[in-house]
Amino acid sequence: MVLRVLLGVFESIISPGFSLITGLWYKPSEHSLRHGIWFAGNGLATIFGGVLGYAIGKIDDRLAAWRWLFIIFGFITFIWSLVLIFFLPDSALTTRWLTPHEREIAHSRPQKSTHSFKNTHWKRYQAIEAVMDPKTWLLFAYTAFTSLPNGGVTNVSLLLF
């Protein structure tokens, strides 16, 4: 039960993380399309995950098939995390695959309409402002009410079928 709670805690950053990455690269007018594209990846992952889960379920070994399922999916997740650690830039200014001029364009493009920039310093008044903002709670409710059923249905359906 403890490991399942930890898994949920660590998985909970996925949607907000995608939103932050989307905000770093795209203008607000482009966010909804990009969010739709990466959210549609859930369905695609369910298709391939189900097929892969079915194939793994056919493994006949001294280790139970459900254990192989967690070992293989865990290994894939671990390898992908290493790829992201080394290749996912934290801003357009640190992107290795763009020229310096392209980095400037990519960095300034999303900021033209928001007039913002990356700041890594935590400020208490901003945290209080975010907690008091009704949009924060609406976004929390939206994410919770879409992610909980999606995660539950996706994970349980893979184990049942």
Distance in angstroms (rounded) separating the CA atoms of residues 13 and 89: 17
70-92 confidence digits (pLDDT tens): 899 889 989 999 999 999 888 88
Listed as ranges, residues in the chain with pLDDT below 50 are none
Radius of gyration of the chain (CA): 19
For the entire predicted model, the pTM comes to: 0.63
What amino acid occupies position 128?
I
